[in-house]
Amino acid sequence: MNKKNIIIPIAAIIVIATVLGANLLSTEFAMTDQKQDVKAVVVGAMELYDVYGVKSFDMITTDKNYIKNGEAYPFVLSGDLGIIVAHGYKADVVGLPPSGLPDANLSIEQMQVELKENGSVWIQYTWENPDTGDDAPKTSYLVAHEGYVFGSGFYSP
């Protein structure tokens, strides 16, 4: 076997690996950007609460663009995760249990443990995507703060 017969397949493998690697990296960078956007929304909602207290819940719920970053909007849950107290997309769910949490990748008890031990947790569940109106996989970041759980998330394609 001559060198030319070996070099061509190796070069093809390198090109394919480079293209695949670039696609994987761009997906990972996009995910990192989405996570940073979501964290910024959560921090903004907590800062609003720190200034206005429970009045901030009405602000989050009634002004859909008050704290928003791309598709990320804030929501606030009771400390036990049992009731939605503010929602930046669907005002009609305020006062109701969060319907997506029972289907999340972590049980409510596991989320509570993570929140107590680490102060925050990432979860995956299904929720209505405001852009499509359809239920879609969602990744959300939850942070325990002052007896409430502040959150935001992004939708997967």
pLDDT band at 130 (very low <50, low <70, confident <90, very high): confident
**CA pair distance 68, 118, nearest whole angstrom:** 25
Task: Tell me the per-residue pLDDT of 116-127, one tens digit each, with 9 for 90 and over.
Answer: 999 999 999 998
Could you give phi then psi for residue 5, rounded to 5 degrees? -70, -25
Nearest-10 Cα torsion for 71, 72, 73, 74: 170
* CATH code of the domain made up of 12-18+21-155: 3.30.450.20
Q: What tokens were used for 95? A: 């006062």
The pLDDT value given to residue 100: 78
Q: Residue range 40-69: average pLDDT?
A: 89
Percent of the chain beyond pLDDT 70?
Answer: 76
Q: Residue range 120-138: average pLDDT?
A: 92
pLDDT at 148 over 60: yes
Alpha helices by DSSP H, listed for 53-107, are: 55-62
**CA pair distance 38, 152, nearest whole angstrom:** 5
Domain ranges of the chain: 12-18+21-155
The residue that leads in pLDDT, 124 or 33, is 124
The pLDDT value given to residue 37: 92
Question: ∠ CA 45-48-49 to the nearest 5 degrees?
Answer: 90
Percent of the chain beyond pLDDT 90?
Answer: 62
Q: Which residues pair with residue 121 across a beta bridge?
A: 142
Task: Tell me the per-residue pLDDT of 61-91, one tens digit each, with 9 for 90 and over.
Answer: 998 666 666 678 999 999 999 999 999 989 9
The pLDDT value given to residue 10: 46
pLDDT band at 95 (very low <50, low <70, confident <90, very high): very high
When the pLDDT of each residue in the chain is averaged and rounded to a whole number, the result is 83
pLDDT at 9 over 50: no
Residues in Cβ contact with 124 at an 8 Å cutoff, skipping those fewer than 6 apart = 104, 105, 137, 138, 139, 140
pLDDT band at 2 (very low <50, low <70, confident <90, very high): low
Neighbouring CB atoms inside 10 A of 65's CB total: 7
Q: What tokens were used for 138? A: 């969602």
> E strands within the chain?
75-78, 84-87, 120-128, 135-145, 148-155
